[in-house]
Amino acid sequence: MARNAEKAMTALARFRQAQLEEGKVRERRPFLASECSELPKAEKWRRQIISEISKKVAQIQNAGLGEFKIRDLNDEINKLLREKGHWEVRIKELGGPDYARVGPRMLDHEGKEVPGNRGYKYFGAARDLPGVRELFEKEPTPALRKTRGELMKEVDAEYYGYRDEDDGVLLPLEVLHEKQVVLDAVQKWRTDRESRLSGDKPQQDEDEEEEESIYSVQHEELEDDESREEQEGEEGGVSFISHVPVPSQREVEEALVRRKKMELLQRYASETLQAQSQEARTLLGL
């Protein structure tokens, strides 16, 4: 009994008793928004929730709170945001303004939603937690392949090397190389001339004769083939002798072309045109 009497005499207990007597006891917010039927009270509870969200958003900016504390604060903020939405719906039902459409969205903009997970947001230091940071990292966009038309736009004279001389470096190098080639050619010509004058020409003539002998052997082989064919014809007994002129392949082709032209003229040309054509050929002696 003495212990309870001492508790009743503390300053807090006396202050609480005084509030009860004056009727100024702080009213608790209803658990469900549907339990409130007065618009002023609904506005009051909405403002109270916004105040709590603001305090918790300020607290969660401190990254030194620890991972578990930050996660708890982030869950509480999301819970309060959902509750604020319920009270806004209730205020609209009671005839108040539509805060979902005209209300400020500063608290909502503080958070960041994970792509594909609409509704839950991460605030402050919660965005840098392990496993959360990877959710907000965007995958690098794949490099777009150029179409054939886009590739052809980059093909110009420079692509084929026609402008290599415009850099001012290649032409001087080509001039030096050309001079060196000319000097080498002149030196070679002089050396060959001196060698021919000194008596080295017979050796060169022998080389040329060797080359000529190769062709002569081939010519002899051709003659041997012809003689062999003649001998085979004589051994066969009867050789083919043509008593009428045999047209060549070219004459046969020309005859076929003329015949085809005549057929086309007879099929598509009129009689007058055919007569004119025949008269022209007669005059020309064809």
Q: What is the pLDDT of residue 256?
A: 92
Residues 233-284 have pLDDT tens digits of 454 545 556 667 788 888 999 999 988 888 887 777 777 777 777 787 787 7
Rounded to two decimals, the pTM is: 0.41
Characterize 239-263 residue by residue with b for buried, 16 or more Cβ atoms within 10 angstroms of its Cβ, and e for exposed: eeeeeeeeeeeeeeeeeeeeeeeee
Residues 96-124 have pLDDT tens digits of 888 877 766 555 555 666 555 567 888 88
Characterize 154-171 residue by residue with b for buried, 16 or more Cβ atoms within 10 angstroms of its Cβ, and e for exposed: eeeeeeeeeeeeeeeeee
- Angstrom distances, CA of residue 245 to CA of 197, 242, 255, 259: 60, 7, 15, 20
- Residues 93-96: contacts with CB under 8 Å, at least 24 apart: 94/37, 94/38, 94/39, 94/42, 95/39, 96/39, 96/42, 96/43
Residue labelled with tokens 């005839």? 95
* Cα 274 from Cα 271, distance rounded (Å): 5
Residue 209: its H or E element: helix 201-236
* Cα 127 from Cα 135, distance rounded (Å): 9
Q: What is the DSSP letter of 112?
A: E
Q: What is the pLDDT of residue 214?
A: 45
pLDDT along the chain (286 residues), means of 10: 62 74 69 85 87 88 87 90 88 84 60 63 83 75 84 85 80 91 93 84 50 47 52 52 77 90 79 77 74
In whole angstroms, how large is the CA radius of gyration of the chain? 55
Q: What is the DSSP letter of 198?
A: I
Calculate the dihedral angle through the C-alpha atoms of 98, 103, 108, 114, rounding to the nearest 10 degrees.
Answer: 40
Q: What is the pLDDT of residue 213?
A: 47
Q: What is the pLDDT of residue 224?
A: 53
Q: What is the pLDDT of residue 228?
A: 56
Q: What is the pLDDT of residue 66?
A: 86
Tell me how crowded residue 115 is: count the other CB atoms within 10 A of its CB: 9
Q: What is the DSSP letter of 9?
A: T
* Cα 37 from Cα 39, distance rounded (Å): 7
Residue 120: its H or E element: strand 117-122
